[in-house]
């Protein structure tokens, strides 16, 4: 494949439109900046916020499209990792922009990660299991991979939401506690990635596609180096387009954070709603990808996308916000309310009972959706 044909294959009209949309929107805001500095009327504020959110979502779809193509090209677990990390990077950018923007946002990281946890573990997985169960009857995930995900989630979520209220000060880790927590979290996540991409990669493949432990099968399956060698132009081109599409998200996120803070303040919405909106914006494209995987019966891919995304979210977001807090002197409140801690515990238990049985059915999905409904009631109570 020549370089020109490889680039044309990647830079489709849709990909080019998403790329240009992000940069044109950023340029328009840059030009109109002085006119937007004064107080805006409520209709104009929410209209502008809606346009920015739509552009960010469109760019996010572009990022996910490129990441999904890379995912299919590289295979699991490498491909799914590219997809989840792309989404998590966008989320970290949005949360960081809110923290560094005007106003006090000491709980934005807690609210966002908690919302992501409930949306992924209950809403997205609930719908996915419902779709997969109704269409396929029952499916069997790779329990070794799910076990690794859940083990990390138990530790990381307890570190993020439970311990700050028990050993910290006013719901936040002290400066002396933040550094070891930050380092330990990154070290655990890095060790997990090494095992996932290396010695334990077979644990994260579909049960029906895990190759037998024979030299013949191992030789038939192309390795990651062979794939990169054979499709170097496509992989590099998609990676470049992915980066160029995500940059407008970074640039637009500051304006979105400012307008969102002002808009929610005017309507008197719950503080947690800001985190929920960020989580919904970020994970909408991956939610669609997950439902597609469930529809085709790829239950382990559902786990890789959802559980893997949440492991990456907590493993990268918490260290990122703690670092921002240390550098800017901001207090990062992470301790959750008793009601949310109970729901988080119920959700983790439900995850174990759903994925560690002999098969996953639509009934498990209905239970997860009930848990998300309870979370919504808690937020708006």
Q: What percent of the chain has pLDDT over 90?
A: 27
Which letter, b or e, does each residue of 243-260 get, where b requires 16 or more Cβ atoms within 10 Å of its Cβ? ebbbebbbbbbbbbbbbb
What's the pLDDT at 75? 66
Residue 71 buriedness (CB in 10 A; 0-12 / 13-18 / 19+): buried
Res 2: pLDDT: 62
Residue 371 pLDDT exceeds 50: yes
Residue 199 clears pLDDT 80, i.e. is over it: yes
Q: Give pLDDT, residue 103.
A: 60
Task: Quote the pLDDT of residue 66.
Answer: 80
pLDDT at 216 over 60: no
Residue 1: pLDDT band with limits 50, 70, 90 = low
pLDDT bin (cut points 50, 70, 90) of residue 31 is confident
Over range 321-327, report the average pLDDT: 87
Mean model confidence pLDDT for the chain: 82
- End-to-end CA distance of the chain: give it in Å, rounded: 58
* Residues 360-369, mean pLDDT to the nearest whole number: 94
Q: Vertex 83, ends 82 and 86: CA angle to 5°?
A: 85
Q: Which residues pair with 360 in a beta bridge?
A: 139
Residue 128 has pLDDT above 90, yes or no: yes
pLDDT on residue 224: 59
**Range name among 129-133, 192-196, 238-242, 293-297 with the lowest pLDDT average:** 238-242
**Claim: this prediction has a pTM higher than 0.85:** no
> Tell me, what's the pLDDT at 227?
66
pLDDT of residue 210: 44
Name the least confident of 118-127, 249-258, 306-315, 355-364: 249-258
Residues 6+ apart with CB under 8 A from 341: 161, 162
The more confident residue out of 94 and 147 is 147
- Write down the pLDDT at residue 101: 63
Highest mean pLDDT among 35-39, 146-150, 217-221: 146-150
- Structure confidence by residue, pLDDT tens digits, 53-106: 888 888 878 877 887 787 777 765 666 677 677 777 777 777 777 677 666 667
């Amino acid at each position: 494949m020549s370089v020109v044909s490889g680039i044309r294959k990647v830079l489709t009209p849709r990909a080019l439109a998403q790329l240009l949309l992000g940069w044109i929107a950023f340029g328009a805001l840059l030009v109109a900046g002085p006119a937007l500095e004064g107080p805006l009327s409520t209709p104009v504020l929410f209209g502008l916020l809606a346009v920015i959110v739509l552009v960010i979502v469109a760019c996010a779809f572009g990022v996910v499209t490129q990441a999904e193509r890379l995912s299919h090209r590289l295979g699991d677990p490498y491909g799914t990792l590219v997809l989840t990390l792309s989404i998590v990077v966008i989320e970290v950018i949005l949360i960081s922009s809110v923290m560094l923007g005007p106003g006090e946002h000491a709980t934005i990281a807690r609210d966002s990660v908690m919302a992501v946890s409930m949306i992924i573990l209950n809403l997205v997985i609930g719908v996915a299991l419902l779709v997969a169960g109704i269409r396929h009857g029952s499916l069997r995930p790779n329990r070794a991979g799910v076990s690794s995900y859940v083990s990390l989630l138990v530790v990381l979520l307890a570190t993020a939401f439970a311990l700050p209220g028990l050993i910290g000060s006013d719901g936040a880790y002290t400066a002396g506690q933040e550094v070891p927590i930050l380092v330990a979290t990154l070290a655990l996540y890095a060790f997990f990635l090494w095992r996932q991409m290396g010695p334990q990669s077979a644990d994260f493949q579909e049960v029906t596609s895990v190759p037998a432990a024979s030299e013949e099968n191992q030789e038939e399956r192309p390795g990651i180096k062979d794939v990169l060698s054979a499709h170097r132009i496509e992989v590099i081109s998609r990676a470049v387009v992915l980066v160029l599409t995500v940059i407008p998200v970074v640039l637009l996120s500051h304006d979105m954070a400012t307008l969102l803070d002002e808009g929610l303040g005017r309507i008197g919405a719950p503080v947690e709603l800001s985190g929920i909106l960020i989580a919904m914006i970020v994970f909408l494209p991956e939610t669609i990808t997950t439902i597609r995987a469930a529809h085709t019966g790829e239950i382990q891919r559902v786990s890789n996308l959802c559980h893997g995304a949440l492991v990456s979210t907590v493993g990268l977001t918490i260290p990122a916000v703690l670092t921002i807090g240390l550098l800017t002197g901001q207090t990062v409140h992470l301790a959750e309310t008793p009601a949310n801690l109970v729901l988080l515990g119920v959700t983790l238990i439900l995850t174990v009972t759903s994925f560690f049985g002999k098969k996953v059915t639509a009934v498990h999905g209905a239970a997860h959706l009930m848990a998300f409904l309870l979370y919504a009631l808690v937020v708006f109570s």
